[in-house]
Amino acid sequence: MTQTYHPGSVPIDLRKRSATATAQWLLERAEDSNSPIYHANQLEVLICGEEGFARILQDIRQAKHSVEIICWGFDPAMELERKGNTWPRGPTWGDLLREVAAGKYNNGKPVEVRVLCWNESPISAMANNTPGYGKLDAQQVKRIRHHERLSGKSYEAGLSPQERRDHFNALWFFEATHGTHPHLTFKVRAGDADKVRQSLAEERSARLSMTEHQSLVQASTAHQKTILIDYDHAQGEHAVGYVMGLNSVTDYWDTRKHLFYDPRRGQSWEGGGDELPGLKPLQDYACRICGEALISVSKNFVDAWNRVATADQQIQRMHDLRSPPAGLKVRAGKAAHRAQIVRTQAEEGDKTIQRLYRQATSFASNYIYIENQYFQYAEWAKYLKQLRRDFITAWKAAGQPMNKLPDLHVFIVIPTPERPQMVPATHETVKALGHGTSMPNQDKEVERELALREREKELATYEFKERKNGAPPELVRGSKPASPDSESRSNADIAKELDSLGIKTLVASLWTYDHAGDSKGEKYREIYIHSKLMIIDDAFFTLGSANMNLRSMAVDAEINIGCDDPLLSENLRSRVFTMHTDDAIRCNGGDGGHHAIQEAFKAWVKLLSENKISKDDQKPCKGFLIPFEDKRTSNMRIA
């Protein structure tokens, strides 16, 4: 990985022996020119599906010209707003897009609706990300229509709720892919194995087994989630878009209250996708965008669409990234939020998400908050520690005393990995940050392996000395073992290392308690974290579709937004901390200064300890934070 920062000169006041410089959170180098920084934007971060999808529904209903959606999965029967307990509880994706395309909300004028979704057999069938897709063919639809004409009744009339929902999806997909609705088009895309293979070859630090490598090459996905409305209308004066983590399948609707049981989330047969979260309480984010950054969202959509579209479906839209349509700036109003759209796109050799994570991390001095579905990227943890070593070297060179070194507080919030094969990579990452014992059984296996390798190392030294002293080969026991893994270290060594670097870390999960008394058994239920959020120093945040793993950094198609607006970052940190801790005393980080974050970190550690006791006793906890723990072990590893 080449350097990510753009070098600059800072004048020094020789009299005061000081200089003032600004941190470079976003990417500014020439190799990142396809991801420009845009200054005229109005951004709004929406938390959880209830808030996010309600706003999306409102914006799409106001569309005048076009609606363009990229998604990992699409469930036409998913309701965007929910008020009842049984399906349909409100307006569905399928009905919304049909109605918008037909001009229902635009004085009868049709709106061009395009949906591009990932679908690749047989992986999609297991992921259940497009329920009902391809289930009906032309002959079956013909028979259904014939039956309806003869009976005078809707085919759905005699179906059970589950059958009715399934039929709704199957028929919607058939119509959207067979031109039934002239202004509604649904298309699918898959990963490019050859391009993924090339991308992985560039990841020098990744040590992949053959199984891991094959799982990445043969099972890459298109994981982006964006919405773009009216980009081409009136020079973009009415354009609005979204970059998000929220999937457009029913599992991803939940409220910020994360109730233990909420019938609005749906029955078990209604959902299950993206590793089958299973209609659990779910945490995620979306960023609503008005302004110049939408040109990058548009270009990403058009390029992806045109790769799979037929000649007559191609979008003829040019993008000069240095000169966004004038209307986009008008749409942003007086807001001046700087924003950058970054991606992972193997087909185009784009790894700006990985570069942005590295760049932003390099400026962290007070805190890093990461909330992510997958925390399986030990390379990042190692990079963070190396950055800290470099900082301490400079600190000493400047003649600063070590007892004045400010601590760096690292807050990690992650779910239990849903597959046992994800345990090794998760353990490797949390162990690098001093929390190997949060996965005790896997940790014991690794510690046992480390001890074995140390013994083998001693044996190898002994054998070498024996041979050097002339002992016959047959008297030297065994063959020389492989050299021990230089990355394997004990928990005690890692704890000392982190202490010397001034890095304070915690790792938590989110759980909700059965306050209503619905459960006769377990009183706690894990909140599935689907988030892809990082906030640093109340100065920067990024969110979108990318997880903290090699797959998202180099393989799957991903898209994030980065923003270096201090007020937005501070507000987001405060909202998230307050939500997770139920506004517990000193837990929200206050003004975000070093002392306030230091106090918040201590308060989180205390709250985690208290909540663990409450959970063990099956009593109510404060907020949602529980110490991360996974007692499983696995020798198999997938990426």
SS3 annotation, 588-633? CCCCCCHHHHHHHHHHHHHHHHHHHHHHHCCCCCCCCEEECCCCCC
- pLDDT the model gives residue 359: 98
Q: What is the per-residue pLDDT across 193-214, written as a single tens digit (0 to 9) for each? A: 999 999 999 998 888 999 999 9
d(CA 353, CA 544): 10
Q: What is the per-residue pLDDT across 100-113, written as a single tens digit (0 to 9) for each? A: 999 999 999 999 99
Region 164-170: mean pLDDT is: 97
Question: Comparing C-alpha atoms, which of 356, 334, 326, 359 is closest to residue 344?
Answer: 356
Region 370-376: mean pLDDT is: 98
- Cα atoms in the Cβ-side hemisphere of radius 13 Å centred on 107: 2
Region 12-34: mean pLDDT is: 82
What DSSP string describes 135-149? Answer: ---HHHHHHHHHHHH
Region 439-453: mean pLDDT is: 90
Reading the block at residue 137, the tokens are 């063919």
Q: What is the per-residue pLDDT across 505-544, written as a single tens digit (0 to 9) for each? A: 999 999 999 999 999 999 999 999 999 999 999 999 999 9
What percent of the chain lies above the pLDDT cut of 70? 93
Instruction: Give the residue, 548 or 279, on which the prediction is more confident.
Output: 548
Reading the block at residue 19, the tokens are 């200089």
Please report the domains of the chain, with CATH numbers, ordered by start residue.
41-72+74-118+121-189+222-332 (3.30.870.10), 339-445+487-627 (3.30.870.10)
Q: What is the per-residue pLDDT across 291-319, written as a single tens digit (0 to 9) for each? A: 999 999 999 999 999 999 999 999 999 99
d(CA 281, CA 283): 7
- Cα atoms in the Cβ-side hemisphere of radius 13 Å centred on 354: 25
Reading the block at residue 83, the tokens are 């008020």
Instruction: Give the residue, 505 or 17, on which the prediction is more confident.
Output: 505
Burial 352-372 (b: 16+ CB within 10 A, else e): bbbbbbbbbbbbbebbbbbbb
Region 52-60: mean pLDDT is: 99
- pLDDT the model gives residue 482: 33
